[in-house]
Structure formats: structure tokens, C-alpha cells
Structure 1
Amino acid sequence: MGMFSRINDIVQANINAMLDKAEDPEKIIRLIIQEMEETLVEVRTDAARYIAQQKTLARHIDAAKKEVDGWQHKAQIAMNNDKESLAKAALMEKQKYVVKLTSLEEQEGHLADSIEKIQGDTARLNTKLAEAKAKQKTLVQRKNSAQTRLKVKQADHESKIDDAMTRFENYEQRIDHLEAQVDAYDLTKSSEATSLQAEFDAMQADETIERELAELKKSKVA
């Protein structure tokens, strides 16, 4: 792809449309910016080369003009001295430099057009690059904002879960307390029943002892 064609494609590209279609807009905008920056480096390199060529052409043109003027002057001197053949030879030599000068000036014109086009394209590329960087900044801000909002939502959700767990634990503690009261009541009731049974058992034991004691007394009397 030619440099100018490549620049035109970049400048004509619809950044918003490319980002809308992309699965990862942030990655795409980075690639777009990278492509533009690399193209700008190439454009500057070409511009430097063209300017160097322009300076070289300017020196060659200046030299060719001097040759044209020099051979014209020599032809005039020869004619002033009635040396027509020498004057003709000088004019023929002059004509060679006229042709060369015309060619050099045409090259200089084309080169000037190319430099002017590069300057215009460089300005357009810089504008497009600024647009892309602004778009990248917006994307980064939107991403950071979304991440912040997500963290807030997650923190709020986690807080609600923690509150729910706390309420559940409190509820469990209340149930534990109720169950402990029931167990304590059963324990107290059981202790009372055991104590009552012990009294009955003691009474029966006393009756048995008294009966046996009476039996012994009877045996002694006999």
C-alpha cells in the first residue's frame, strides 16, 4: 500500500464505527493510535527525505542556470568577435543545460507538490490522532467509572449478605436461648421428681426396717 493511500485510509476511517463493532474497544483504540503514530513516523521520514532532495535539486538548478547564463555569455562574446561557428557551438552547449534545467525544475515542482501534500496529510493525521486519543481517554474514564460503580454495588451486596447472616445468627441465638430454657425446665422438673421418689423410697425403707425390728422383738419375747 502506498504511503498516501495508507494515510487516506486512516483519515477516512470512522473511529466510532470501528469501536462500536469491536468486542474490546479499548484494545482496538490502542491499535488505531499505534497505527497512526507509526504512520506519522513514516510520513516524517518521507518528508525529511523529500526536503533533502529538494535542497539537492535547488543546488542542481542553480548550477544549471549558471551554465545556461555562462554559455549564453560565451556565445555573445564569440559573436562579438565574428566567430559565428564558435557562437553556435556555445549556444548548442547552452541548449543542453536548458533541457537539463527544464527537467530539474519539473522534478522540483513534483517534489514541492509531494511536500505540500505531506504537510497537509500530517496535519490531518495529527487531528485524527488527537481525536483517537480523546476517545481513548473517554473509554478509560468510562471503564474506571464502571469498575468503581461495580465495586460499590458489590460492597453493598456483600453488606446486605453480612446483615442477613448477622440477623440469622441472632435468630439462631434466640432459638438456642429458648431451647436452653426448655432444657432447664425439664431438668428442674426431673430433679423434683427424683427428689419426691427418693422420699417415697426412704419411707418404704423405714417401714421395712420397722417391720423387721418388730419381728426381732417378737422373737426375743418368745
Structure 2
Amino acid sequence: MALLERVGTLLRANLNDLIEKAEDPEKLLKQLVLDMENQLLQVKTQVAIAIADEHLLDKKRKEHEEAAAEWQRKAELAVKKANDDLARAALERSLSHKQMAAGFAQQLEDQKAEVETLKNALRRLQQKLEETRSRCEMLIAQHRRARVVGRAAQARQAIDNKDRAAGMQRMRVRIAGSEASNAAHEELADADTLEDRFAVLEREEQIEALLRDLKEQHGRDAAV
């Protein structure tokens, strides 16, 4: 049956292989559960139909067995009445019903086997569906958790990169500040040296002026 073939395909489905090949594992798993639920409903319907057919075949078998027994009784009555022709006709009818009853009995056995096959498929599919639901819930949770962890890792990496960038910026600021401070100290040092040099020159000029004054004063004293 095509239905049993589809059920067999679902029962043989390997979730891990399907997930590895799927672009959207969560969507695939949900679709797989939905397919199983649909097939389960169809199998239940087929089981109900098969059981109904089984009861119908059993009813037909019993009807022909009862008819065969009734014609057998009539044949016995005809024999008692010494009516061989009527007895032969009744036996012919009885034999025909027995053959029909045997045919329905064989169909009934085949139908019972089909019903049992469908029931087994139904039980297996129900079990597979329950397992798949639980597995899907777990895999979907794992998939979602993996995405959350991935996003968290990306966020942490972005924060770390930002912190490193901020740290480097602070370091550059401190270095620039140190360089500026050093330059200022050097400039101040140069300024102090320049002032000292001018101070020396001014002092020498002052001494020279005092020396000239002394010489002039000495020259005037000598002339007197």
C-alpha cells in the first residue's frame, strides 16, 4: 500500500541527517512532525475501514454458513420424505453456500492480517511521532540556544573589541599627554637657559660699564 510505504519512509527518517542538510532545521522538524500527524490520521482512518471490512466479511461468512446449514436441514427433510430430487437441489444449495462461506473465511483471514499490519504501523507511527516530538523539542531548543550563544559570543567580541579600541585610545591620549608634557618641560628648560645667558651678558655689560666709570674717574683724579 502506498500509505504504508509513506509511513515506512517516515519511520526510517534520520533526524540528524535531515537537520545537517536543512537550511532551516527548526522549520524542517516542525514540518516532519506535521507530516507524521497527517499520516497518523490517515492510518487511523485506514485501520477503522479495515476493521469495518473485517466485520463485514465475518458477517457474510456467518450468513453463508447459516444458509448452508439451513439447506442441509432441508435436504435431510427431503430425504425423510423420500424426495431425492428435492434433496439433491437442497444439497446443491448447501454446498454452494459452504463454498461461499469458505471464500469469505479466507478473505476474512487476509483482512485480519491486513488489519494487524495497519495496527502495527499505527503503533509504530504513534511511537515514532512521540519520539520525534520530544526529539524535535530538544533539537529546536538546542538550535535556538546555539543561536543565542552565537549572538552572545558576537556581542562579547564586539564589546571586547570596543574595550580594546577604547583602551588604545586612552593609551594614545596618555602618550600624547606625556609627549606634550615633555615638550613643555623642554621648552621651559630652553627658556630658562636663554634667560640665564642673557642675564650673564647683562651682568658682563654692567661690569664693563662700571669698569669704564672707574677708569674715567681715575683719569680725572690723575689730571687734578
- Asked if residue 99 in structure 1 is aligned to residue 99 in structure 2, the reply is yes
Residue 133 of structure 2 corresponds to which residue in structure 1?
133
In terms of mean alpha carbon deviation, does 54-63 or 156-165 score higher? 156-165
In terms of mean alpha carbon deviation, does 129-138 or 51-60 score higher? 129-138
In terms of mean alpha carbon deviation, does 154-163 or 83-92 score higher? 154-163
The amino acid across from 2:6 in the alignment is R
- Asked if residue 146 in structure 1 is aligned to residue 132 in structure 2, the reply is no
Residue 6 of structure 1 corresponds to which residue in structure 2?
6
Is residue 26–residue 143 contact of structure 2 (8 Å, CA) maintained in 1? no
TM-score, normalising length: structure 1 = 0.69
SS where residue 70 of structure 1 aligns? helix
Number of residues of Structure 1 aligned to a counterpart in Structure 2: 185
- Asked if residue 90 in structure 1 is aligned to residue 90 in structure 2, the reply is yes
Relative to structure 1, is the Cα distance of residues 50 and 142 closer, same or farther in structure 2, using a 3 angstrom cutoff? same
The amino acid across from 2:81 in the alignment is N
RMSD: 3.0
- Following TM superposition, by how much is the alpha carbon of 1:168 offset from its aligned partner in structure 2, in angstroms? 6.9
Distance 1:168 1:93 in 2: 108
| Structure 2: gaps of 5 or more residues | 185-224
- Following TM superposition, by how much is the alpha carbon of 1:172 offset from its aligned partner in structure 2, in angstroms? 8.6
- Following TM superposition, by how much is the alpha carbon of 1:162 offset from its aligned partner in structure 2, in angstroms? 5.3
Distance 1:121 1:152 in 2: 45
Distance 1:170 1:4 in 2: 71
- Following TM superposition, by how much is the alpha carbon of 1:164 offset from its aligned partner in structure 2, in angstroms? 5.0
- Asked if residue 58 in structure 1 is aligned to residue 58 in structure 2, the reply is yes
- Following TM superposition, by how much is the alpha carbon of 1:71 offset from its aligned partner in structure 2, in angstroms? 0.6
- Following TM superposition, by how much is the alpha carbon of 1:92 offset from its aligned partner in structure 2, in angstroms? 0.6
Residue 20 of structure 1 corresponds to which residue in structure 2?
20
Distance 1:148 1:24 in 2: 16
Distance 2:126 2:160 in 1: 51
Residue 186 of structure 1 corresponds to which residue in structure 2?
none
Distance 1:52 1:117 in 2: 15
- Following TM superposition, by how much is the alpha carbon of 1:108 offset from its aligned partner in structure 2, in angstroms? 0.9
| Structure 1: gaps of 5 or more residues | 183-222
Relative to structure 1, is the Cα distance of residues 162 and 5 closer, same or farther in structure 2, using a 3 angstrom cutoff? closer
SS where residue 124 of structure 1 aligns? helix
- Following TM superposition, by how much is the alpha carbon of 1:167 offset from its aligned partner in structure 2, in angstroms? 5.1
Give the percent of matched residue pairs that are identical in Structure 1 and Structure 2: 25
Residue 80 of structure 1 corresponds to which residue in structure 2?
80
The amino acid across from 1:103 in the alignment is G
Relative to structure 1, is the Cα distance of residues 38 and 116 closer, same or farther in structure 2, using a 3 angstrom cutoff? same
The amino acid across from 1:86 in the alignment is L
- Following TM superposition, by how much is the alpha carbon of 1:123 offset from its aligned partner in structure 2, in angstroms? 1.6
- Following TM superposition, by how much is the alpha carbon of 1:39 offset from its aligned partner in structure 2, in angstroms? 1.2
* 1:1-222 matches, cutoff 5 A: 2-160=2-160, 163=163
- Following TM superposition, by how much is the alpha carbon of 1:171 offset from its aligned partner in structure 2, in angstroms? 6.8
- Following TM superposition, by how much is the alpha carbon of 1:110 offset from its aligned partner in structure 2, in angstroms? 1.2
- Following TM superposition, by how much is the alpha carbon of 1:113 offset from its aligned partner in structure 2, in angstroms? 0.7
The amino acid across from 1:97 in the alignment is H
Relative to structure 1, is the Cα distance of residues 53 and 129 closer, same or farther in structure 2, using a 3 angstrom cutoff? same
Distance 2:13 2:81 in 1: 70
The amino acid across from 2:31 in the alignment is L
SS where residue 148 of structure 1 aligns? helix
In terms of mean alpha carbon deviation, does 144-153 or 44-53 score higher? 144-153
